Amino acid sequence: MQFAQRFGPWAVVTGASSGIGEAVARQLASKGLDLVLVARRADRLSALSAQLHAQGGQCRVVALDLTGDAACEQLVEHTSDLDVGLLVHAAGFGLGGPHLDRPLHQHLEMLDLNCRSTVELVHAFLPGLQRRGRGGIALVGSILGFHGVPWSAHYAATKAFVVSLAEGLQVEAAPHGVDVSVHAPGPTRTGFFERASMQAGSAADPHSVAGHIVRRLRSRRVVLTDWLGWLIRLSTSTAPRWLRVRIVGQVMRGMTHHR
């Protein structure tokens, strides 16, 4: 089955105003899909929409904060007239540094976006995909979502939630013809580190990561999206879990010590 036939005609991409989400949107458009672009920043979404429209694609801009009350219901209303074949949930953010250095409201905002919105979007779009008998959901996790991570404890926990949820849904959705994939990037050159108050040395290009995500939409396992993620995973794979936590914690401490 051709890509556009399986995952089109419309794809919903969250976090589409920058970083991995924007890069995924561009790559899906190049494969002939029409796009619903979702993020908070309407100006960036409109600029991206204009570029993709000039290349022959259709776009619908939905400027929406997914942490807000009834945000998912609003997105469903904006897409109710479309035949959506793919959901890519790339919206999310992280917090770095000692857990208690951040006020509770920031932790709850991250929990809402990284976890609650994921559950809401799955409930909103998976039933329609299963009725179609084809399509996909791609969730963006993190290389940090495989065990506890000191100095990024809550962020890692939210991404562990995403990975676990996707692994279960992969089995449940497969008999209905729906591919649920979860993608775990390593450090990537986006606005993530600035918002998380972290510094990174080596980082992957978001367009490279996006290309890997789009190529592996049918993968029914956790997908590492770049060489750096593979290197991090491989270098700790033989260590016991408690030691992996401490090794990665030392790395994270070095990335946040400037705060």
* pLDDT of 236 over the 90 cut: no
* Active-site hit among 155, 161, 192, 193: 155
The closest of 70, 112, 76 to 91, measured between CA atoms, is: 112
* Pairs from 211-214 (Cβ < 8 Å, separation ≥ 24): 211/23, 211/27, 212/183, 213/20, 213/24, 213/88, 213/138, 213/140, 213/181, 213/183, 214/24, 214/27, 214/28, 214/31
What's the confidence (pLDDT) of residue 146?
Answer: 87
Instruction: Report domain 3-256's class.
Output: alpha beta
What's the confidence (pLDDT) of residue 204?
Answer: 79
The closest of 155, 88, 85 to 118, measured between CA atoms, is: 88
Q: In what order do the strands lie in the sheet with 34-39?
A: 59-63, 34-39, 10-14, 84-89, 135-140, 178-184, 222-224
* 20 against 220, higher pLDDT: 20
Tell me, yes or no, if 31 is annotated catalytic. Answer: no
Task: Encode pLDDT of 84-110 as tens digits.
Answer: 999 999 999 999 899 999 999 999 999
Tokens of 61: 């801009």
Average pLDDT over residues 155-181: 96
How confident is residue 64, by pLDDT bands cut at 50, 70 and 90? very high
* Active-site hit among 154, 159, 212, 244: 159
What's the confidence (pLDDT) of residue 127?
Answer: 98
Tokens of 70: 């009834």
Query: For the chain, what are the domain ranges?
Result: 3-256
Task: Encode pLDDT of 97-150 as tens digits.
Answer: 999 999 999 999 999 999 999 999 999 999 999 999 999 999 999 988 888 889
Provide the CB-side half-sphere exposure for 119 (13 A, CA): 10
Average pLDDT over residues 67-76: 93
Average pLDDT over residues 35-54: 96
Tell me, yes or no, if 159 is annotated catalytic. Answer: yes
What's the confidence (pLDDT) of residue 196?
Answer: 45
What's the confidence (pLDDT) of residue 155?
Answer: 96
Average pLDDT over residues 39-60: 95
Residue written as tokens 């990335």?
A: 255
Average pLDDT over residues 190-215: 73
* pLDDT of 252 over the 60 cut: yes
How confident is residue 32, by pLDDT bands cut at 50, 70 and 90? very high
What's the confidence (pLDDT) of residue 9?
Answer: 97
What's the confidence (pLDDT) of residue 220?
Answer: 74
The closest of 84, 109, 106 to 97, measured between CA atoms, is: 106
What's the confidence (pLDDT) of residue 203?
Answer: 72
What's the confidence (pLDDT) of residue 187?
Answer: 82
